[in-house]
Amino acid sequence: MNLVKIIFCIFVLSISQFACDENSETITDEQLGLNYAPIAIGNYWEYQVDSIQYDTFKRIIIDTVSFLMREEIVDSFRNSAGELIFRADVSSRVSESEAWRLINTTFFTKNRERMVKTENGLNFIKLVFPVQRFYSWDGNTMINPQTAITVKGEELKPFEAWSYYYKEVQTSETLLNKQYQDVITVEEVNEDLAFNRRYSVAKYARNVGLIYKEQWILNTQSQDISKKWEEKAQSGFILKFILIRNG
């Protein structure tokens, strides 16, 4: 290869590298989808929560509870790796007339690749960026699949075989008579086996955050396939969150 060709090749490679670098720098946070999870001190979300719990020890008593829940980002700090962590207070009340009661604390970490939420000491990769329909990831990669939780005295292992993916993007959703125009749906698990049901889905609206969440973590010893899971479940829970307001 003569000198002219070598110089030409170097020139082409330099231009190509410059173009790639330039394109990568022009991808905005909005294009990546970071504003599906607006995380900042002062942001809050209030939800209507409906919970059904199954109690094996009391001969399959079904306990239905409805309450209000508020999650508010109140502080931030940097961890040992230099990551910015946001702390949120989680409060509940039965009705609008009652005062909020602090019940838990959650943590958020977000960068241009993912958003991680820490609940009860467990780290969930709730979103990855950029947001693309059908893109999948292991949202529970930081959680041992054998991790157990206790519901009404019954030990459950709900975290096996989860695989998150963007089921829908840029859709509209109406909840409690309020319409959201740009919504993504993350299906986290959808497994229906003979003796257990695992279903978890979350919906996020752009510039709002989480607007809807539903989980079915159920076990049974019944072999009656004619019954719905609501009827044959013997332990576990069904949980639904619907956003009421945010700010």
Based on the domain organization, do 123 and 20 belong to the same domain?
Answer: no
**pTM of the predicted structure, to 2 decimals:** 0.87
| pLDDT at site 48 | 98
> Under DSSP, is residue 245 helix (H, G, I), strand (E, B) or coil?
strand
What is the average per-residue pLDDT within 148-163?
89
Based on the domain organization, do 169 and 118 belong to the same domain?
Answer: yes
Based on the domain organization, do 182 and 72 belong to the same domain?
Answer: yes
Angle 26-29-34 from CA coordinates, rounded to 5°: 155
Q: What is the DSSP letter of 142?
A: T
| pLDDT at site 147 | 95
Based on the domain organization, do 135 and 16 belong to the same domain?
Answer: no
Give CA–CA dist 88/75, Å, rounded.
7
- Which tokens belong to 138? 């292991």
Give CA–CA dist 247/245, Å, rounded.
7
Based on the domain organization, do 10 and 59 belong to the same domain?
Answer: no
Q: What is the mean pLDDT of the chain?
A: 89
- Which tokens belong to 37? 């999870």
Give CA–CA dist 231/242, Å, rounded.
24
Q: What is the DSSP letter of 230?
A: H
Whether residue 10 has pLDDT greater than 60: no
Q: What is the DSSP letter of 29?
A: H
Based on the domain organization, do 8 and 64 belong to the same domain?
Answer: no
Based on the domain organization, do 91 and 21 belong to the same domain?
Answer: no
> Under DSSP, is residue 232 helix (H, G, I), strand (E, B) or coil?
helix
Based on the domain organization, do 14 and 40 belong to the same domain?
Answer: no
pLDDT in tens, 185-232: 999 999 999 999 999 999 999 999 999 999 999 999 888 888 999 889
| pLDDT at site 63 | 80
Based on the domain organization, do 113 and 217 belong to the same domain?
Answer: yes
Q: Which residues pair with 186 in a beta bridge?
A: 166, 202
Based on the domain organization, do 68 and 134 belong to the same domain?
Answer: yes
Based on the domain organization, do 75 and 163 belong to the same domain?
Answer: yes
DSSP letters, 106-134, are EEEEE-SSEEEEEETTEEEEEEESS--TT
pLDDT in tens, 40-64: 999 999 999 999 998 866 556 678 8
Based on the domain organization, do 48 and 16 belong to the same domain?
Answer: no
| pLDDT at site 18 | 39
Give CA–CA dist 113/111, Å, rounded.
5
**How does residue 127 score in pLDDT terms, banded at 50, 70 and 90?**
very high
Side chain identity at 89, as an amino acid letter? D
For residue 1, give its domain range: 1-27
Domains in the chain: how many in total? Answer: 2
